[in-house]
Structure 1
Amino acid sequence: MTPGNSKIVIYAALAGNLAIAVTKFVASWWTGSGAMLSEAVHSLVDTSNQGFLLLGLRRSARPASQRHPFGHGMEIYFWAFIVALMIFALGGAASIYEGAQRLLDPEPIRDPWINYLVLGVSFAIEATSLRVAWRELRRSQPGRTMLAALRGSKDPSVFSIFCEDSAALIGLSVAAVGLALAHVLQEPRFDAIASLAIGGILILTAVFLARETLSLMTGESASVEVLASVRAVLEGDRRIQRIEEILSMHLGPSDILLGISLDFDDEMTSEEIEATVHDLGKKLRSTQPSITRVFVRPVQPAKKKVLAGSATS
């Protein structure tokens, strides 16, 4: 996925969440709904999260330097982890606190129809943003289920927003149910319970995002599909006798480092091995454009290893 596509997803979510946050805060102040206040905090946190992701994209695009020879691509994972912490602390924890306060000291809801109108508009905007994120996620992970696509995606600027928007739609539904029960039954505690439930949804979302981004921060391997295509290229080259090891690591969403240990044909000269290494790098990068760095280590032939081991013993 190109940085341009990622930015489209972020800008769509940013515009929607900013408008929704302002509307929800006004509605919460006017009606006194705790669930609406939790939703307003949720949208405000999401808006700031999009700012962090944009900052991460900009900083991760910086070129390589002497101090960072492999570039700064992994910095986007750090900012995505900050997003997960923000959802947990400012979204989930704040919503639970607000719900607990309203549960202990319930307040009647005024003009509930304003809340219903705001929730309906918010649902439409969030659904549009979710559709944009899902389209980009499906484009990068074709033919996969939603959960498999989320786990397989290496671009947190897309899967973070998809998770945020999904949590937002679920939260809006919970808020609507809580408000309806509080209105019909004249029991404001249902509104407080909805706020607690929204907080729980946000915390679960934050835990999932933190787990996925932590895996990427600590050097996650390329996908099974990418490694399979790499192996296919290597096995199709007759100059390679044996593939000893294939190591990979994501240095960014579309930046894969590949380290390969190969046993070349014993009859090849050093010049021929150098030419083979050059050809392999070119083939691998054309097959998988996300592979940006290829390191090949020629290994001692297996037969010679056995002889060497026998002589030593």
Structure 2
Amino acid sequence: MDEKSGESLTTVLVAGAANLTIALAKLVAGVVGGSAAMLSEAAHSAADTVTEVLLLVSVRRSGRPADRRHPFGHGKAGFVWAMMAAVATLVGGAGFSITHGLHEIAHGERLSNLTLSYVVLAVSFVMESVSLTRSVSQLRAEAARYEVTPIRLVRATSDTALKAVLFEDVAALAGLLIAAGGLLGSHLTGSALWDGAASVAIGLLLLVIALSLIQANLSLLIGQAAPPQLETGIRAVLVTQPEVENVVELLTMMIGPGAVLVAAKIDFRDEASAAGVEIACDEVDRRLRESFPGVEQVFLDPTPTRRR
């Protein structure tokens, strides 16, 4: 397992441990207080815990080395398991929260002592903040490595484990604030409407997060290209090779978290000999791997530029 996979694994483990503890505490508080919002938060954290388990599998499977049946490695397995994690959030978290919230709005269950719920929400906020701090720390480190802003990196990154944990931590903190608002509203007014509405809002938040992650993983599974900035850098390395006249076509594809395949049709200079072209291809391969650590496969096809 490389250093980057190790960082993602640590991030997932921290988030998973926090979510499991928080889920149990929220469940107890929800049962004691009779709050739909707290039970929705318990379902939220439980779904996040399942998600972390699937992301753990994702990190482990994607880090397996290439073999004869999988010559490009097992990187895309990470996208498959991350997709399943997003579906778990959609079904387990969003589905339960919305349906349970609507049930409380319709039937209006009476809330009892909410002191435990407030304590659990406060402690959960601290624990989720620790998990988010870890995610943001890794994000900033990777952004500095690629010389881009953290926001730009999270939009383009193929490290789906990092993206999922980051999104879930942000959603968790937002969900805690929504739940606290719902409890306070019901506490002050005596109406369960606020608590039920908070539960529905938490479900809709999870729905948006899950659909966003599903879309991102689906794009990677189909064969998403490398970020434009990376493609620009790769093209720059190709055209600066003395034997290269022109880059006829450049194709890239993400074959795993942070792993890139490069295929290019190159118009070499007419005076370049066959041996010179071979040496140039080998040099380009070396330079691309050194300049961009994520480049794992390079295929160059000598192709003349079509003249009109």
Q: TM-score range by the shorter chain?
A: over 0.9
Aligned ranges 1:133-152 → 2 under 5 Å: 133-142=135-144, 147-152=151-156
Given that 1:137 and 1:153 are in contact with CA atoms closer than 8 Å, whether structure 2 keeps it comes out as no
State the SS of the aligned residue for 1:293: strand
Q: Which one of 69, 90, 108 corresponds to residue 67 of structure 1?
A: 69
Given that 1:266 and 1:301 are in contact with CA atoms closer than 8 Å, whether structure 2 keeps it comes out as no
RMSD: 1.4
Q: Which one of 186, 189, 199 corresponds to residue 185 of structure 1?
A: 189
Q: Deviations over 1:111-145 (max 9, x none)?
A: 11111110000011111111111121222234655
Given that 1:27 and 1:114 are in contact with CA atoms closer than 8 Å, whether structure 2 keeps it comes out as yes
Q: Deviations over 1:56-83 (max 9, x none)?
A: 1111222222222211100111111111
Q: Match of 2:6? A: 4
Q: Deviations over 1:99-122 (max 9, x none)?
A: 111112222211111111100000
Q: Which one of 45, 48, 52 corresponds to residue 46 of structure 1?
A: 48
1:283 aligns with 2:293: no
Q: Deviations over 1:254-290 (max 9, x none)?
A: 2110001111111121111111100110001000010
Identity %: 35
Q: Deviations over 1:220-264 (max 9, x none)?
A: 111122112112212212211111111100100121100011111
State the SS of the aligned residue for 1:2: helix
Q: 1:301 to 1:38 in 2, by over 3 A?
A: closer
1:256 aligns with 2:253: no
Given that 2:241 and 2:280 are in contact with CA atoms closer than 8 Å, whether structure 1 keeps it comes out as no
Structure 2 distance, partners of 1:118, 1:157, is 27
Q: Match of 1:129? A: 131
Aligned ranges 1:28-177 → 2 under 5 Å: 28-142=30-144, 147-177=151-181
Q: Match of 2:243? A: 239
Q: Deviations over 1:137-186 (max 9, x none)?
A: 22223465565332111101100010111111111100000000101111
State the SS of the aligned residue for 2:254: strand
Structure 1 distance, partners of 2:176, 2:265, is 52
Structure 2 distance, partners of 1:149, 1:109, is 44
Structure 1 distance, partners of 2:104, 2:72, is 51
Structure 2 distance, partners of 1:300, 1:88, is 50
Q: Deviations over 1:1-55 (max 9, x none)?
A: 7100101110110111011001001111111111000000000010011000111
Q: Which one of 215, 224, 227 corresponds to residue 223 of structure 1?
A: 227
Return the TM-score normalized by structure 1. 0.94
Unaligned runs of 5+ in 1: 307-313
Given that 1:17 and 1:47 are in contact with CA atoms closer than 8 Å, whether structure 2 keeps it comes out as yes
- Larger radius of gyration between Structure 1 and Structure 2: 1
Cα distance, 1:202 vs. partner?
A: 0.6
**Structure 1 outlier segments of 4+, above 3 Å:** 142-147
Structure 1 distance, partners of 2:153, 2:205, is 20
Return the TM-score normalized by structure 2. 0.95
Structure 2 distance, partners of 1:103, 1:61, is 46
Structure 2 distance, partners of 1:224, 1:135, is 24
Structure 2 distance, partners of 1:232, 1:66, is 33
Structure 2 distance, partners of 1:301, 1:224, is 23
